[in-house]
A and B are shown apart, each in its own frame.
Chain A
């Protein structure tokens, strides 16, 4: 398939690095799973199931980082609301898992989740209908963020809301959603969110096998997402998107309807974020309105900045590295993590505008040495 795109858009190097990255990712996740399942517990090579789940979590966040890199690194749109798409996808999956609990809840109601029984509701609200089907929930976890991104992006880009304005209204969007989901009347569990999941597709969520499979699923999804992003960004469409980042006005003068491209990238990215959320929830076992907090979204942006934006694997590396550091650091000094995160924000933007990848001498995708207007 790659060969059909091979019209000199990109070099052999890029394809090599694509395959290199994908095989590295798949081999590594395969090896880690193998070490967990087949190597006995006593061996130093054994990987704890806890580590597997943690890695699965990182990979979900890497998908989120990838989706942010697509809009920010490639299209120059800084969205501070991607956590909202991630959380929406998570909620869609959480609703399915909630319905799977059935009568094993605290109140033992056959159809209603515990919190609805607690609120004295007599039947499922209309927007919960259909979520007992896994595939419907999965579909919704992509569809809902996509629709929201389409409506929001279309409204914003059509009236040429760009730059920091767009950033701030996306932040307001996720903030508003957070406030909304905190309300009990919304029917999404309010403050506590959705939790106490029992099983997925009939398998026990707590079992090691399911956890390893979820991890492998996440790794596969990340690979597919990475491959898709690569194709998209190396296509002619991707060229236009890059051009929009560098000078939107010029592209518009050349006759492109830039807002269509921007909306398309934004929607694609939101769907990716939603799927990441859907994978994330069964692994961490909870989704609550805190996921909508503006801090989460902006933290995801800094992963991309640390890794290096405009480079796909930069986003992945950044997400995994920062989250690994966070896990380690919060275990040792829980108080000081915010200092580190804050310093990361300041230092990376001032001293490492191209992230760690830039440090290694790799250039952001296709920008060449042309002056990049930052908007």
Chain B
């Protein structure tokens, strides 16, 4: 190895060793400085705290703990520790400087570092200064965001300083917004107010709308600003703009909720669209098949507790098979004997639903079961501060559409679909053509029931899973099918979404229960007017 190379290695190594040495050094310094806090009187503390500021971000956890009253010194070695819990026994503690986990301690072995209000104020100021000076843009963003909701002259001063050196665009925007809000609240000069108004214009943060509204009220009460025609007009315009925007997003949110409810209804009803719509079998146990799907999800999660993320992918086919299998059994053992006697079918399947409900109640428990959501299903897609789409509802909407599209494909494009349609139109003729009608009946019913199972998987992600889960949806899903037009798949699609949206738009006017009732009454009247639903089945087969 040449000397040159050695030199190079040395060159690389030197900064490393220096850095690590340096890091250890300041850690020691910080510890020394901080340890003074343990013995300091309340009079001396402010000085120590002020010194801590020079350490910058590493001192943050310590300062925050002090602010929240969680900073303690351990009696045995005067070490500063952070203890979160208030209980007397076995408090988990961490080192205040290195964040290293220490052995659990007891309350009486710790002495709290005392703080008073003035000290808290000082600490808060120091924390904002440190975070605002942080090299990390997201830390700065958070710091400004915190200030936005508790404005005071000091933070404004800090922000004005920070604004001069800020380079990140988003943070700068937020700083400008915060300063503008402050102006709107405190300033008396119309020019300043006008500028501030222009800055906040169109921003949907709730605080903006509140501030503007307050300003407008004060102005109308002639409390603050001198009469200025132009300014008044401007601020009124901004206010009105915001109002329309907020209203628009509220409507959008309502519509989204409506679509979400509609997608649940669509999922619940698409199975019925097959069993009731195509086969003309009234299956009152449909709700219980949905419930079985939800319980299947629960059981799958029990079996693979460490793979919750993937459990849904396993649960979907499982639920389809379980509900489909139970459905085929119902068809084979009950419904087959009651063909062409719809009222009796209704009663018999109602009996089946009671049995299924009670089985689940005896097998699991009458109490609700908790099904956990995978991570990718929780959280929400934030479009702006007042409008967010929750992921679970978004995915269920997609899922419902995918399931429905597949269903349409099966019915319209596959051999099975062709046979299903043939049997439903003319059983005798289909039999003559060599279709095994019994077989087709069982499969059709299994398909419809399996779809109910899929609905159960989706429902398990948004509601509690209990033995009564299905009951809540059975009447609604019949309504969807009847409303859309029996025997018409697209009618079910439109019916599901329109009932969902109607329901959600009625809710703020009438309340949840009353809007349910109104929708029911609406459907009853609707059936009066159009007995065969929105999209009557057009068929050459005489019924």
Contact = CB atoms under 8 A, between A and B. Distances in A.
Most chain A beta carbons < 10 A, residue from B343, B348, B358, B475: B343
A159 interface: yes
A343 B347 contact: no
B357 A345 contact: no
A335 B520 contact: no
Interface residues of B, number: 41
Interface in A318-355: 335-336, 338-339, 341-346, 348-350, 353
A168 B349 CA distance: 14
Contacts of A135: none
A374 B348 CA distance: 15
B442 interface: no
Contact of B353 (A155, A302, A342): A342
A137 B342 CA distance: 39
Given A176-B516, A349-B338, A349-B344, A338 B357 contact: yes
Interface string B457-498: 000000000000000000100110010000000000000000
B48 interface: no
B358 A172 contact: no
Given A155-B525, A176-B516, A179-B517, A160 B531 contact: yes
B514 interface: yes
A164 B354 CA distance: 19
B338 A182 contact: no
B520 to A, nearest CB: 4
Nearest to B512: A179
Interface in A209-234: none
Interface in B351-395: 351-355, 357-359, 361-362
Most chain B beta carbons < 10 A, residue from A160, A168, A294, A302: A168
B423 interface: no
Contacts, number: 122
A338 B358 contact: yes
B282 interface: yes
B494 to A, nearest CB: 19
Interface string B496-522: 000000000000000001101100110
A78 interface: yes
B354 A338 contact: yes
Interface string A143-168: 00000000010011011110111011
A346 B351 contact: yes
Contacts of B524: 152, 155-156, 169, 172-173
A286 interface: no
Contacts of B160: none
A375 interface: yes
A168 B347 contact: no
SS class, residues of chain A in contact with chain B: helix
A244 B144 CA distance: 78
Given A335-B358, A339-B355, A346 B517 contact: no
A345 B354 contact: yes
B270 to A, nearest CB: 18
Nearest to B478: A168
A35 to B, nearest CB: 36
Contacts of A163: 342-343
A128 to B, nearest CB: 20
Contacts of B352: 342, 345-346
A353 B347 CA distance: 11
Chain A contact patch, size range: 35 or more
B334 interface: yes
Given A156-B528, A169-B524, A176-B516, A305 B475 contact: no
A183 B518 CA distance: 14
Contacts of B514: 180, 183
A175 interface: yes
A32 to B, nearest CB: 32
Given A155-B525, A169-B527, A298-B347, A179 B358 contact: no
B255 interface: no
Interface in B206-255: none
Interface in B64-118: none
A271 interface: no
B350 interface: yes
Contacts of B347: 298, 301-302, 305, 345, 348-349
Contact of A161 (B340, B350, B531): B531
B341 interface: yes
Given A155-B524, A176-B517, A298 B350 contact: yes
A36 interface: no
Nearest to A168: B478
B351 A167 contact: no
* Closest CB pairs A-B (n = 4): A345-B351, A342-B354, A342-B355, A338-B358
25 contacts: A78-B343, A155-B528, A156-B528, A158-B528, A159-B531, A160-B531, A163-B342, A165-B482, A168-B478, A171-B475, A172-B523, A172-B524, A179-B516, A294-B475, A302-B351, A341-B354, A342-B355, A342-B358, A345-B354, A346-B352, A349-B344, A349-B345, A349-B348, A374-B344, A375-B342
Interface of B: 282, 334, 337-338, 340-348, 350-355, 357-359, 361-362, 475, 478-479, 482, 513-514, 516-517, 520-521, 523-525, 527-529, 531
Interface of A: 78, 152, 155-156, 158-161, 163-165, 167-169, 171-173, 175-176, 179-180, 182-183, 294, 298, 301-302, 305, 335-336, 338-339, 341-346, 348-350, 353, 374-375
Given A346-B348, A346-B352, 9 more contacts: A156-B528, A159-B529, A159-B531, A169-B524, A173-B524, A339-B358, A343-B351, A353-B341, A374-B343
